[in-house]
Amino acid sequence: MTERLRLPALRVGHPLAALCFGLAALAPLAALAQDTAKATFAGGCFWCVEADFDKVPGVLETVSGYIGGTVPNPSYEQVSTQDTGHAEAVQITYDPAKVSYEQLLATYWRSVDPTTKDRQFCDIGSPYRTAIFTHGPIQMQAARQSLQKLQQTKPFEAPIVTEIVPATTFYPAEDYHQDYYRKNPVRYQFYRWRCGRDARLQELWGAS
């Protein structure tokens, strides 16, 4: 009979014990990661996109940043020159058990003006284009189906020019951009009003 391999008891401080305990501690984090998913949307000013998606039940985190360009680790000033190819965007971490990607798409469409190229409201230039950056083929299919359905049901005549492209590297924006609407509520609300964002959205989509 083959004798079973017996592992020695691991004392606290033993190198193998530290490794085992470390792996055990990482297990809940790995399980948590498997229960979340990411979505990335460009919809003009990322302050506003953050604010809109933070209201959605099931959204766990929103991060403002830059995506879609060729310059690594760009600054806000670089992106603003329109030479990097990046768009202002928000990367969303969400719980698929509480909100589906399709529901996030529905929220996205009604939070942007998809009829304008390289512009959102008062912000003009390629960094303010609308785009859906998909993470994998399932999101790509869902986004295309969502666009197809919207083209048949949209309450306006203008064509939709929003891009649907695979996600590339996402670079978080500077700290002062994160949660700007919470840190500077008066300035944020004034900017949103002055930019005419909500007025244009109501014009496009109706009061709802």
CB neighbours of residue 72 within 10 Å: 8
Q: Give the tens place of pLDDT for each residue, 146-189.
A: 999 999 999 999 999 999 999 999 999 999 999 999 999 999 99
pLDDT at residue 112, as a whole number = 98
Q: Which of 88, 47, 46 is nearest to 66 (CA)?
A: 88
d(CA 156, CA 203): 9
Token pair listed for 146: 């969502």
d(CA 157, CA 110): 15
* DSSP reduced 3-state for 74: coil
Q: Give the tens place of pLDDT for each residue, 81-115.
A: 999 999 999 999 999 999 999 999 999 999 999 99
pLDDT at residue 50, as a whole number = 98
Q: What pLDDT band is residue 18 in, cutting at 50, 70 and 90?
A: very low
In degrees and rounded to multiples of 5, residue 139 shows phi and psi of: -65, -40
Any idea which residues carry the catalytic annotation?
45
Q: What is the mean pLDDT of residues 199-205?
A: 96
58: left (phi over 0), alpha (psi -120 to 50) or beta: left
Q: Are 122 and 194 in contact, with CB atoms under 8 Å apart? A: yes
What's the maximum distance between 2 C-alpha atoms anywhere in the chain? 82
Q: What pLDDT band is residue 25 in, cutting at 50, 70 and 90?
A: very low
> Is this structure's pTM higher than 0.75?
yes
Query: Domain extents for the chain?
Result: 36-205
- The superfamily (CATH) of domain 36-205 is Peptide methionine sulphoxide reductase MsrA (3.30.1060.10)
